[in-house]
Structure 1
């Protein structure tokens, strides 16, 4: 009999709690003006609130454990009623239009483990005691892309079980609190795109040895590159780009065996890129050291032996020597950016042949000699070669004429000779063809007149002869036509007079006859 009474009592408590939570959800809906997206949250009928969309409950107690309302059309203040959901462990309101200050009503959700208020219209200063009040169970705090101001509260360091702290893209001021180094369970830390006062990364961050993702780009960081990151063995993504970091890249960074993405571009790093001993970072997918301006020495040969490498960006530096031939055999390479350095020698002979996903090769403003590799478009996906201001010779490969995806071919200021291949735009995707200041001869391919996408045609200062193809501007997108300083003859196409999109027309120093169209 006593057991039966206990069961009945528990059943009554369960029903009462369920009714209370159902009512709280209705209050939440009303606080947002009864949005249509929550139409199913209704007191009519006998439906279980645990079956409502965006709601998850504990099956035994019927208490709401999760509200996942990300990226739905809700607008208005954060409802205080959410704080009444005592069993809530996960709350996600990201990508919504909620407004107001940080909602202290969530402090009442003592079981909360995951709180995602990112990309909303919440703003103002975070409460000073936020780290004391949120509770020891919290493992994930996502506040990125909001409008929070003031300094980052040092009390966040009390959230000792926190694994993800995501604060990037706010309007915080001051410097990065050293106390965050106490969060030794952190696996994700993002502070990027925040205009902190100039300062160094805290030395205390050396204790964050469990970090997998560390993103502190565009944070006004100064001082030497933090060598302690080489002692973070779990690191997969490191992005300290667009700062004022100085010194050299510590060789130990190439021993991080789990590192996939390394972005330290747009700093003031100097010196050679040194690989000391075996190269352990074989899982690298992206290396971006660009725009440091004073990184020097040769490109490490080891970069050409990374089977997963998709992006290698070393542009705007002072690298010298030859491009390692092994770069041309990278099986996953998509983008190779080496422009504005002091590289010499030839382009890797196999470039494109062993890289089935190759799309972009950018090597402008170097001292590269030799011919353009024949196999750039062997994969059928290649889109862009920019190699201006080098010493390339030989002809433009005929294989590029069969490249259906070719969008951009910029070869100005080289020593190229021979004819421009017919069919460079057979598939109508070519937008830029610029090969001025070379030694090209023959005629301008007539097929270019049928190129529906061609916006820039720059072939000045060559030895081209014959007539200017009629109809170059029929596509309605041509903006630049520069064929000056050649051996062209015949009459100037009359159709150019009706070329409304043309912004620049240069025909000087040829053997053309007739009048320049009145339009110009």
Structure 2
């Protein structure tokens, strides 16, 4: 079993870099090479090893007759004393024995990123020598037990228990006696109760408290303002409520303040946030804050990241924001901000890399000052009220990789593409719901975009044909052209896009037959092509509807959406070559002929929609072998004969077969006669090769079905 892991929204998992650097520097300075260790220390290490169920070959590295100071992961000092045990990422499985607590000179213990379970031995927490204890990313559980009253003055400075299964509350007795504690990271567990404040009283040097991704509730305790040395306070992704207490702004050394994804409310406008002049990261996203951004924000001149996304804030952006000249990330998406952006001098942000203003009410044109942010990598202005043509200045953003302008009122798509082609680093370009009723630029009038992997020009009501210049996008993986008025056939060059695995051309006026060249798309004909796809994450999440978002391209399904057009002819039998396909929708066309039995070769298929065509014949019984199929629809055709009863067909609703008067089966108006049943193809053998074990595949169906239900909620980008 892999260690329980989470992906924190921003910086939740590990200790801050400055603190880690301090700890490493401090501890390395204490270590010097040595030649041997004591017998007691060797026995303590071997006892730890014996308590593991899986040592991933560590036993072979720790040989009996060998000096333990030379063992893998062990460091001794000049006095032949073990001072460090570093066994992170070793694949260790089992419990932690208390024997490590007998290493009386041990100063650093790192067992992170393994599969250790059980409790955290009290002997380690109360050690008289350990200064840094890191057991993060394991499966340890239980409460943090109270230390005995005699255990005071422990040297422990850094305690990292994040990403485990710990539960319980932080009481006034928790970690009592740790007078030297500097940093506690307890993120990604299941701690309950309120945020503790007693650490500040126990240790005068306490400076880092990380509690992200727990089940903490209640309000933010005002007492945290008394932590005079506090530099990092993170409690995002909990169940906190109430307002930001005014006392919190007394902790003037704070550099990182994060309460993202809670239920906090109130206004920032009347707070004394300007007192936190050392802040470099302020993250209050995904809460219920309202009101305007205070003018005093401009006094936070060291600010590098500002996250106020997913709140209910409003008003115009203050001009004083221009004073935050060190900004790298500005995330204000999903609020009610309004007005034009010209008040903010974006030219003052030479280091800005990410600007996300999605889902607000900003209006006017894109200010020219944005184009002076030469280091900008991700720019999202989608779902606002911007208008006009794109400026040539946009071509100055040479580092731009992610651009979303979707759902605004921009015009002149030809001009836009001519400008954007000079952004050679663009990998994701989302332009949908703009350029309404214009003509799609055709042929060789557009070039560039050498690195483009995602292109979305959907729901623009564009006329014309699918242009040839798309064929020159050699690295294209996903193409979204749905919701336009494109006409003509699917171009024969479509299979030359060797990395294309997601094509949505639904709801257009495309005609002709479905070409056999479409059945030779490289990424859809082999199940072993995923390694060729871009493994990198999107610089910003790509949204498909209000709740579903993608962080990496390969998370998208391998899909063909051809529905809502005027395609004629038969479904090509060669469709069985698309073995990697997971979604196939060719509904609402004018297709005729039978359902090709070769579809049974699409063993990864989760969705098959052939509804609202003129298909004839019977449903091939070999389709019973599609054990991953979660959605099946052949309604409103001219099909006949019995509905197959094996495999997934017992799970599909009657509506999947409605509108086929000559089809029979349970739940339909036409019940099958013995003659019809006798003439039906039987079994699940044939083209798809023999019996397939149903039980194993069916266990996966439930999860696949739920995933699909979420994915079809909405089909637009932002």
TM-score, normalising length: structure 1: 0.81
Q: Does the alignment pair 1:256 with 2:303?
A: no
CA distance in 2, matches of 1:481, 1:455: 11
CA shift for structure 1 position 437: 5.2
Please state if 1:29 is matched with 2:29: no
Deviation at 1:442, TM superposition (A): 7.6
Going from structure 1 to structure 2, the CA distance change for 1:412 and 1:134 (only over 3 Å counts) comes to farther
Shift of 1:303: 3.5
Counterpart in the other structure of 2:369? 326
Match of 2:63 in 1: 42
Tell me the matched-pair count.
Answer: 491
State whether structure 2 residue 259 is matched by structure 1 residue 216: yes
Deviation digits for residues 465-509 of structure 1 (CA, Å, limit 9, x no counterpart): 888765233314651125737xxxxx846564543557223676x
Distance change in 2, residues 1:470/1:233 (3 Å): same
Once the two structures are superposed, the pairs formed by residues 116-131 of structure 1 within 5 Å of their partners are 116-129=134-147
Aligned to 2:336: 294
1:424 is aligned to: 470
Q: Deviations over 1:85-126 (max 9, x none)?
A: 222221111112222223211244223221212111111222
List aligned pairs for 1:108-123, cutoff 5 A.
Answer: 108-123=126-141
The DSSP-based 3-state class of the residue aligned with 2:167 is strand
Change (3 A) 1:467 1:52: closer
Q: Distance in 2 between matches of 1:229 and 1:161?
A: 29
Matched residues in 2 for 1:74 and 1:88: separation?
20
Quote the residue 2:279 is aligned against: 235
Secondary structure of 2:418's partner? coil
Of residues 561, 577, 586, the one that matches 1:505 is: 586
CA-to-partner distance for each residue in 1:139-195, whole Å, 9 max, x for gaps? 322111111112223455875644332121111112223445656745543222222
What is the deviation of 1:138?
Answer: 2.9
Partners of 2:87 and 2:289 in 1: CA distance: 40
2:187 aligned residue (168, 189, 199): 168
1:96 to 103, 114, 118: 114
Match of 1:76 in 2: 94
The answer to whether 1:364 aligns with 2:406 is: yes
Q: 5+ unaligned residues in a row in structure 2: which ranges?
A: 1-33, 223-244, 525-557, 597-609, 611-718
Alignment of 1:188-199 (within 5 A): 188-199=208-219
What do the CA deviations read for 1:337-369 (whole angstroms, capped 9, x no partner)?
222222333334332x32233222112222333
Alignment CA distance shift 1:238-1:42 (3 Å): farther
Q: Does residue 139 of the first structure (1) align with residue 157 of the second (2)?
A: yes
What is the CA-CA distance between 1:335 and the residue it aligns to? 1.5
Task: Report the CA distance shift for 1:192/1:350 in structure 2 as closer, same or farther (over 3 A).
Answer: same
Residues 1:150 and 1:277: Cα distance change in structure 2 (over 3 Å): closer
Q: Which residue of 2 aligns with 1:471?
A: 517
In structure 2, C-alpha distance between the alignment counterparts of 1:277 and 1:455, rounded to whole Å: 40
1:316 correspondence with 2:362: no
Q: Deviations over 1:46-100 (max 9, x none)?
A: x2x22222112222x2222221111112222222112122222211111122222
Instruction: Classify 1:211/1:394 alpha carbon distance in 2 versus 1 (closer, same or farther; 3 Å).
Output: farther
Alpha carbons of 1:210 and 1:90: their partners in 2 closer, same or farther (altered >3 Å)? farther
1:411 maps to what in 2? 457
Q: Is the 8 A contact 2:512 2:568 kept in 1?
A: no
* Structure-2 change in CA distance of 1:370 and 1:132 (3 Å): farther
Q: Is residue 20 from structure 1 mapped to residue 40 from structure 2 by the alignment? A: yes
Asked if 2 retains the 8 angstrom alpha-carbon contact of 1:332 and 1:355, the reply is yes
User: Comparing 412-421 with 383-392, which one deviates more in the overlay?
Assistant: 412-421
Distance of 1:157 and 1:206 partners within structure 2 = 26
Structure 2 residue matching 1:262: 3-state secondary structure? strand
**Counterpart-to-counterpart distance in 1, 2:373 and 2:159:** 39
Question: RMSD between aligned alpha carbons?
Answer: 3.7
For the residue of structure 2 that corresponds to 1:26, the secondary structure is: helix
- TM-score norm. by structure 2 comes to 0.60
